[in-house]
């Protein structure tokens, strides 16, 4: 089921009001009401009531996949060169299995969602990125063609945006398994922001990561997903920045702040600071920025500021904006509208404003201490307090740096204009890749990436835009395959870095092939490490067209979309001692980390040195594209 924003029923309004008004009172001078249900930007919401959705509330209808992606196409729809498809096989939703995954947490293993072709495997993403030349829009065009061709198989079983964001938000990951420093960064105006710093050994790229709305520099949904992608699975240091809309920042600075115009400037200043810091400068090869959601708005502006030589001593080499806010005004207005998403966003805003209420005096001009605030009251309080902050700030010190040199914020028209990245995109010279999904329920494409695409046309621009149909709100790695997003992020950053990745290796394997003929086709392989074991297992799945299921020969199905009983599997063992840089995992955390690394970096090759997927030739070697460095 594709969940789209739509006007909600009257009962939804009543339920939202009841939820906000029946919360228990907290103890304190302001007697503020506490919302009982903690939600975040990545909380899924009920499609009928708009209330935060719990995994146990899921139904088969909520988890039903989009019919266009969950099943195969008819023969008449076959494109030239595709495998002929004889029948359609629709898979029923296993509600209890889905509930269990979400209730007890989702642990990514780095494998694909389903069976796959070699043209859609991660190595093709890496090839496309590494071989492109010219402006970033050239790359975006190639990746868009690839996404259009591959998304049907990449997102099989994962086209439902409720389930996708629930999995993203329920990712299990022990971030404390890494050596991370909690740091405070202070700017020249004495404002401060919290961050987390993860360093590896040696000189390597630094990725500055900007989190989304109301986020602190702490463990959370975004932190877990992107520490895995950018720190574990990639050869990068990482500096994870809180949002200026987070409760820590607002309480620490006594202000309501918002918008990429400001956050982009902070990123640029941090780039200069860290590049000159004697503790870190010799560890940094070059600097790149990545953001999600509202954090991407700041990333886009940092790429803009970075494009003017006089703005910065140090330079950002590349920027990636995932599910980005591009134009602030319509996006903020949309999330406060009377929609399904608006209900749950109101709950999120309500609990945030309550937490910072005592620390920000200006809020008392717009909100009483009861906590019984309407959407309009919270919208007015948030935006008017933000405007007041920037009016005060720029009245004392005008904005510095191009394209806003010497400008001040006088009213809302200034504030919204300065935070509309679309009108500045043609001034960007920093390689900037945008990846978003059509079914994003919160940061709607119509106000954001679509408007930017109209401006750039994905031609002759350093801003390139790639759209997937599925991905929900920032859950692109769930909907389109963990390896897809891991490879895309890592490859784009490395393309614009002078860092030389350690060479990998290729090893022959003693695997014993089962009997395979023209009826067979290898369609997937998945690695799995084990605690205290010096070997990893790899399960190799292959389609068997000679099987007959309920009287129907499997050869009448598409090898990628056949019933489960049309597939067989064989498990082989890989000696970890032969893979340079790998240490035997001693803890559950190390097991999961190594498993993800194997699935995102190691491939199986046949006797022709080709990827085994799509053929009936059993693997004779394994190939790792680099050495693991997360254990250094």
**Token reading at 398:** 């005008």
Pick from 38-42, 76-80, 339-343: least confident = 76-80
Pick from 45-49, 230-234, 309-313, 522-526: least confident = 45-49
68 has a pLDDT exceeding 80: no
The CA-atom distances, in angstroms, between 237 and each of 112, 125, 180, 196, 600 are 26, 23, 10, 11, 18
Residue % of the chain over a pLDDT of 70 = 89
Q: What is the pLDDT of residue 87?
A: 54
Q: What is the pLDDT of residue 67?
A: 59
Pick from 48-52, 192-196, 306-310, 485-489: least confident = 48-52
For residues 222 and 291, the answer to whether their CB atoms sit within 8 Å is no
Question: Would you give the distance in Å from CA 249 to the centre of its chain?
Answer: 23
Q: Each residue of 292-311: pLDDT tens digit?
A: 999 999 999 999 999 998 88
Nearest partner of 62 among 37, 98, 89, 91, judged by Cα: 98
Residue 196 phi, psi (nearest 5):
-120, 135
Nearest-5° angle of CA 352, CA 476, CA 175? Answer: 60
Burial of 413 (0-12, 13-18, 19+ CB in 10 A): exposed
**Token reading at 30:** 């302001």
User: Which residue's structure tokens are 């001040």?
Assistant: 408
**HEC assignment per residue over 162-231:** HHHHHHHHCECCCHHHCCEEEEEEECCCCCEEEEEEECCCCCEEEEEEECCCCCCCCCCHHHHHHHHHHH
Nearest partner of 336 among 300, 393, 384, judged by Cα: 384
Burial of 415 (0-12, 13-18, 19+ CB in 10 A): buried
**Token reading at 309:** 């030589």
Nearest-5° angle of CA 577, CA 580, CA 585? Answer: 55
Q: What is the pLDDT of residue 30?
A: 35
What is the arithmetic mean of pLDDT over 301-324? 94
Q: Each residue of 424-453: pLDDT tens digit?
A: 999 999 999 999 999 999 999 999 999 999
**Euclidean distance between CA atoms 123 and 116, whole angstroms:** 12
Q: Each residue of 592-619: pLDDT tens digit?
A: 999 999 999 999 999 999 999 999 999 9
Which secondary structure element, helix H or strand E, spans residue 520, and what is its range? strand 520-528
What is the arithmetic mean of pLDDT over 105-122? 95
User: Which residue's structure tokens are 């489960």?
Assistant: 564
Q: What is the pLDDT of residue 34?
A: 37
Q: What is the pLDDT of residue 612?
A: 98
The CA-atom distances, in angstroms, between 347 and each of 9, 17, 38, 377, 420 are 17, 10, 8, 13, 26
Half-sphere exposure of 386 (CA within 13 A, CB side): 23
Residue 605 phi, psi (nearest 5):
-120, 150
**Euclidean distance between CA atoms 77 and 110, whole angstroms:** 31
What is the arithmetic mean of pLDDT over 500-520? 94
29 has a pLDDT exceeding 90: no
542 has a pLDDT exceeding 50: yes
232 has a pLDDT exceeding 90: yes
Pick from 76-90, 220-234, 307-321: least confident = 76-90
Residue 12 phi, psi (nearest 5):
-65, -40
Q: What is the pLDDT of residue 632?
A: 53
Q: Across the chain, what does the average pLDDT equal?
A: 89
73 has a pLDDT exceeding 70: no
Q: Are strands 316-322 and 284-292 parallel, antiparallel or unpaired?
A: parallel
192 has a pLDDT exceeding 50: yes
Q: Are strands 621-624 and 535-544 parallel, antiparallel or unpaired?
A: unpaired
Task: Give 9's pLDDT tier (boundaries 50, 70, 90).
Answer: very low
**Higher per-residue confidence, 615 vs 340:** 615
Q: How far apart are the first and last CA of the chain?
A: 44
What is the arithmetic mean of pLDDT over 124-135? 97
35 has a pLDDT exceeding 80: no
183 has a pLDDT exceeding 90: yes
What is the arithmetic mean of pLDDT over 381-386? 98
User: Which residue's structure tokens are 């292959």?
Assistant: 542
Letter string b/e over residues 237-257, b meaning 16 or more CB atoms within 10 A of that residue's CB: bbbbbbbbbbbbbbebbebbb
**Token reading at 317:** 């080499």
Burial of 140 (0-12, 13-18, 19+ CB in 10 A): buried
Nearest partner of 346 among 11, 22, 48, 17, judged by Cα: 17
The CA-atom distances, in angstroms, between 491 and each of 5, 93, 103, 541 are 34, 35, 33, 27
What is the arithmetic mean of pLDDT over 70-88? 38
Q: Is 476 helix (H, G, I), strand (E, B) or coil?
A: helix
Residue % of the chain over a pLDDT of 90 = 76
């Amino acid at each position: 089921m594709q969940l789209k924003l739509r006007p909600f029923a009257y009962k939804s309004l009543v339920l939202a009001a009841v939820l906000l008004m029946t919360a228990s009172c907290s103890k304190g001078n302001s007697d503020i009401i506490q919302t009982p249900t903690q939600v975040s930007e990545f909380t899924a919401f009920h499609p009928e009531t708009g209330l935060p959705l719990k995994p146990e509330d899921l139904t088969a209808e909520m988890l039903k996949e989009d019919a266009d992606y969950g099943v195969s196409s008819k023969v008449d729809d076959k494109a030239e060169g595709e495998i002929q498809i004889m029948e359609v096989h629709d898979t029923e939703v296993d509600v209890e299995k889905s509930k269990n995954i979400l209730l007890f947490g989702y642990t990514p293993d780095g494998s694909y969602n389903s069976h796959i072709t070699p043209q859609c495997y991660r190595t093709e993403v890496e090839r496309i990125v590494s071989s492109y030349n010219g402006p970033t829009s050239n790359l975006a065009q190639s990746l868009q063609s690839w996404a259009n061709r591959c998304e049907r198989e990449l997102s099989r079983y994962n086209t439902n945006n409720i389930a996708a964001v629930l999995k993203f938000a329920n990712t299990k990951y022990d971030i404390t398994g890494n050596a991370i420093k909690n740091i405070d960064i202070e700017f020249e105006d004495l404002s401060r922001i919290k961050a987390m710093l993860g360093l590896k050994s040696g000189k390597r790229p630094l990725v500055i990561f900007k989190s989304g709305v109301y986020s602190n520099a702490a463990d959370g949904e975004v932190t877990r997903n992107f520490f895995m992608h950018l720190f574990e699975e990639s050869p990068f240091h990482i500096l994870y920045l809180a949002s200026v809309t987070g409760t820590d920042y607002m309480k620490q600075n006594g202000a309501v702040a918002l918008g990429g115009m400001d956050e982009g400037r902070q990123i640029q200043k941090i780039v200069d600071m860290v590049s000159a810091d004697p503790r870190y400068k010799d560890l940094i090869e070059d600097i790149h920025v990545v953001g999600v959601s509202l954090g991407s708005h700041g990333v886009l502006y940092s790429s803009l500021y970075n494009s003017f030589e006089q703005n910065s001593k140090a330079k950002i080499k590349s920027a990636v904006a995932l599910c980005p806010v591009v134009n602030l005004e319509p996006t903020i207005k949309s999330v406060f509208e009377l929609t399904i998403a608006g209900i749950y966003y109101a709950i999120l805003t309500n609990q945030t404003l309550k937490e910072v209420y005592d620390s920000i005096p200006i809020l008392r001009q717009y909100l009483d201490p009861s906590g019984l605030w309407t959407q309009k009251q919270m919208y007015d309080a948030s935006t008017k307090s933000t405007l007041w902050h920037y009016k005060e700030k720029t009245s004392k010190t005008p904005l510095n740096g191009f394209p806003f040199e010497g400008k001040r914020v006088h009213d809302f028209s200034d504030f919204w204009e300065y935070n509309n990245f679309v009108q500045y995109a043609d001034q960007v010279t920093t390689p900037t890749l945008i990846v978003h999904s059509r079914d994003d329920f919160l940061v709607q494409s119509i106000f954001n990436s679509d408007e930017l695409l109209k401006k750039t046309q994905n031609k002759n621009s350093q801003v390139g835009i790639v759209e997937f149909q599925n991905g929900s709100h920032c859950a692109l790695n769930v909907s389109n395959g963990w390896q897809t997003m891991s490879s895309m992020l890592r490859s784009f950053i490395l393309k614009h870095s002078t860092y030389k990745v350690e060479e990998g290796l290729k090893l022959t394997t003693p695997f014993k092939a089962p009997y395979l003929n023209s009826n067979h086709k290898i369609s997937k392989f998945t690695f799995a490490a084990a605690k205290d074991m010096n070997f990893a297992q790899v399960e190799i799945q292959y389609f068997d067209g000679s099987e007959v299921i309920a009287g129907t020969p499997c050869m009448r199905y598409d090898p990628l979309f056949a019933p489960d009983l049309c597939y067989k599997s064989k498990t082989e063992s890989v000696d970890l001692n032969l893979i340079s840089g790998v240490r035997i995992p001693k803890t559950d955390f190390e097991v999961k980390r190594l498993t993800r690394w194997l699935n995102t970096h190691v491939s199986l090759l046949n006797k022709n040195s080709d990827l085994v997927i799509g053929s009936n030739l059993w693997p004779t070697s394994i190939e790792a594209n680099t050495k693991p460095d997360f254990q250094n």
